[in-house]
Structure 1
Amino acid sequence: MGAQQVRDGFAELYGADPEGVWAAPGRVNLIGEHTDYNDGFVMPFALPHTALAAVSRRTDGRLRLHSADIGGGVTELRLDDLAPESDREWTAYPAGVVWALREAGHAVTGADIHLASTVPAGAGLSSSAALEVVVALALNDLYGLGLKGWQLARLCQRAENVYVGAPVGIMDQTAAACCTDGHALFLDTRDLSQRQIPFDLAAEGMRLLVVDTRVKHAHSTGEYGKRRAGCEKGAALLGVDALRDVPYGELDAALARLDDEEVRRLVRHVVTEDERVERVVALLESGETRAIGPVLTEGHASLRDDFRVSCPELDLVVDSALAAGALGARMTGGGFGGSAIVLTEAADAGTVTKAVEEAFAAAGLTAPRVFEAVPSPGARRIG
């Protein structure tokens, strides 16, 4: 679905053309998983798949929402009635953004919003963050709020943490708001400092495949929340503000101070994953792009064995891709289903894809969705 279709859908719903159309992308995280809520390093890039929003302002304190993907009628809300965790439907994400903007003192007086998205939901590609950021950017532009990308990301994270009630970190929203075409975003989640790292695999004869397993095991917020609480416990026991503050060179000594084996595993993953992000940045900046493959695979082993957020389907993607000659592979996103990424030579992409598909068929699993991930622009106005 493109800008004109979303514009036409808005006009059909609300009886007038929108004031504009905006887009915000889903993301793939190249490396740096479950580090963002530990004040650590991440390295996402934006996908060409986007959430689109056609939006107009209102002055009567009302918010009207519609999704082309979910269908049904228009949901109408009073801004004064918006309250954290009052909504368990999809509308909580855009409504939460409006709530967060108003709570921060921004004079948003209402909006008509029509949404559509090509970001696969439930695939670990941040469809919810794309939805939040596209609404935030549209309202920022229409109301002249003057907020920068990282500020919009912070407000969207607050909307998801407090209004929706999901304890997510800052990576997904920042990726949607701040990524640039042809680059991966090296982000320090503590201070939100950023570096755009050139990442043009096609020019070097490589491809990065996303394999959506099409499964989502029931983990959701519960298991994610347990991991986050365990990381916070580890930081407290080690006397640091966050696990980001445990030096990689002192990891063994830190682990020796922890009696709880589960906490030890969580700490080991986070500290080694931060080091892997820095290693990937150094390799990319020195032109040794193929050498990041084993680092990705190493990260998957850590997520599988220490953080324990992988699942049989994600492991099958990684194992079958590597057996077929991939340079590296790992799960991406929160885990328990969703997607994996596979780095491969361009000439081998078809062979690797076929091997993964055949492995799923042999296991009696639903065929995965495989597509190439191309670093794309972040949130922007498109009409």
Structure 2
Amino acid sequence: MRVAEAFQAAFGHEPEGTWHAPGRVNLIGEHTDYNNGFVLPFAVPWGVTTAVRRRTDGTVRLLSLQASGGPQVITELDRAQGWARYAAGVLWAFERAGHAVGGADIAIDGDVPQGAGLSSSAALEVSVATALNDLHGLGVSPIDLALLAQKAENDFVGMPCGIMDQAASALCEEGHALFLDCRSLGTRAVPLDLAAEGLELMIIDTGVHHELADGQYARRRADCEGAAERLGVESLRDVTDLAAALSVLEGDERKRTQHVVTENHRVEALIGLLRAGAAREIGALLNASHLSLRDQFEVSCPELDVAVESALRGGARGARMTGGGFGGSAIALVPAGGAGRVRQEVEQAYERHGWAAPRVFPEVTPAPGARRLT
């Protein structure tokens, strides 16, 4: 295995094992997680594989096969730089939770398209967390590993994400989407066999790389928290009378509330259609989600909008942006055998705008969550 070989070459000894955690794509339920709402992601076939060996001297050595230069040697976790902060943050979160994991040699190899909105950072965090949990015999549950990984990203890296990405990476099952109630942390595996209904899901990576920690994501979250405070509820999840809520809100807070409340309803409606064997009817919900993210939450961008619009012209039954926004990827629900036409339509639209062709991944099916490999 490539990561194990790189580990031995860099550190001079073999790892104690290798672990893999996947990225995710969100079928529906965007910007609802930090509002205590509902989400429906599934794990993608790409992720982060980590080779780890424990150390007794407290030092952490971190190597990424995707980063230039040699390993970062860290004697104090808060001195980690760049990508290494996501891994160092996991060790920090374990320590804060009372788990003395000490030092480690860690090599990381990832194939999640970076900047595509498929949660490469969560895959890295969960992969490292799963490895440390196994090696130290801590017995931390998958959902609690996800919470530790989220704490690392929130409080150590400084990105105020919700729990969805880490939970999806830790808990997803092959062939299923993951319904997650972000308040109770209750989960349910929802069968997602689109091929059985003559459908496939494709991912369109716009190539527009976003940096959610630049403040846009945090501003959207602040809008939601401000609206909830004005409405006298714990979170926007608790809004039951949308019309009444909108009548007392203005500006951005009004728009953010409209998106969150209706998006939660769309998650529940989509699950209902899947359970009824009506996957061919979920396209309208995907379309409505994109329009809401574009117009009410204002996290889309021209490249995402063109990807969605051209996919629909090419025959997709539904399409929407996925992930935090401001770039990244769109998903399209396509009749079996129709991916080629959709791809051609999207590529031609990009060419007309003078943009580089997007990366397209057809027939994406739900993969398993975090697990030990060797």
Please give the range of the TM-score, normalised by the shorter of the 2 chains: over 0.9
For 1:299, which of 289, 299, 305 is the aligned residue? 289
Give aligned pairs, total. 373
SS at match of 2:207: strand
Per the alignment, residue 256 of structure 1 pairs with: 247
CA distance 1:189–1:152, change in 2 (3 Å): same
Residues 70-100 of structure 1 show CA distances to partners (whole Å, capped at 9, x for unaligned) of 131111112xx224xx544111000000000
CA contact (8 A) 2:158 2:213 kept: no
SS at match of 1:215: coil
CA contact (8 A) 2:212 2:324 kept: no
Residue 48 of structure 1 aligns with an amino acid whose one-letter code is: P
Q: After the TM superposition, which residues 208-219 of structure 1 pair with which residues of structure 2 at under 5 Å, given as runs? A: 208-216=201-209
Residue 305 of structure 2 aligns with an amino acid whose one-letter code is: D
Q: Does 1:194 align with 2:150?
A: no
Residues 275-313 of structure 1 show CA distances to partners (whole Å, capped at 9, x for unaligned) of 000000111011110111110000000000000000000
For 1:19, which of 16, 21, 27 is the aligned residue? 16
CA distance in 1, matches of 2:60, 2:81: 17
1:218: how far off? 6.1
Q: Percent identity?
A: 57
Q: After the TM superposition, which residues 1-383 of structure 1 pair with which residues of structure 2 at under 5 Å, given as runs? A: 4-78=1-75, 81-83=76-78, 86-216=79-209, 220-247=213-240, 250-258=241-249, 260-372=250-362, 373-383=364-374
CA distance 1:380–1:74, change in 2 (3 Å): same
CA distance in 1, matches of 2:224, 2:204: 28
- Flag structure 2 segments of 5+ consecutive residues without an equivalent: none
CA distance in 2, matches of 1:190, 1:228: 16
CA distance in 2, matches of 1:152, 1:183: 20
CA distance in 1, matches of 2:272, 2:81: 43
CA distance in 2, matches of 1:380, 1:19: 15
Residue 35 of structure 1 aligns with an amino acid whose one-letter code is: T
CA contact (8 A) 1:102 1:108 kept: yes
1:58: how far off? 0.7
Residue 292 of structure 2 aligns with an amino acid whose one-letter code is: S
Residues 202-222 of structure 1 show CA distances to partners (whole Å, capped at 9, x for unaligned) of 222211000000013566431
Q: CA RMSD in A?
A: 1.0
CA distance in 2, matches of 1:240, 1:145: 37
CA distance 1:155–1:219, change in 2 (3 Å): closer
CA contact (8 A) 2:65 2:107 kept: yes
Residues 300-356 of structure 1 show CA distances to partners (whole Å, capped at 9, x for unaligned) of 000000000000000001100111111000000000100000001012111111111
Residues 39-68 of structure 1 show CA distances to partners (whole Å, capped at 9, x for unaligned) of 000000000001010111111111110000
Residues 198-242 of structure 1 show CA distances to partners (whole Å, capped at 9, x for unaligned) of 001122221100000001356643111110000000000110000
Residue 146 of structure 2 aligns with an amino acid whose one-letter code is: A
Residue 363 of structure 1 aligns with an amino acid whose one-letter code is: H
CA contact (8 A) 1:201 1:207 kept: yes
TM-score after normalising by structure 2: 0.98
CA contact (8 A) 2:28 2:266 kept: yes
1:174: how far off? 0.3
CA contact (8 A) 2:74 2:80 kept: no
1:243: how far off? 0.2
Residues 8-27 of structure 1 show CA distances to partners (whole Å, capped at 9, x for unaligned) of 11111111111000000000
SS at match of 1:361: helix
CA contact (8 A) 1:167 1:221 kept: no
CA contact (8 A) 1:20 1:55 kept: yes
CA contact (8 A) 1:330 1:342 kept: yes
CA contact (8 A) 1:87 1:164 kept: no
CA distance in 2, matches of 1:150, 1:359: 41
Residue 39 of structure 2 aligns with an amino acid whose one-letter code is: V
Residue 158 of structure 1 aligns with an amino acid whose one-letter code is: K
SS at match of 2:226: helix
1:254: how far off? 1.1
CA contact (8 A) 1:161 1:168 kept: yes
CA distance in 1, matches of 2:63, 2:324: 27
SS at match of 1:216: coil
CA distance in 2, matches of 1:359, 1:318: 11
1:141: how far off? 0.2
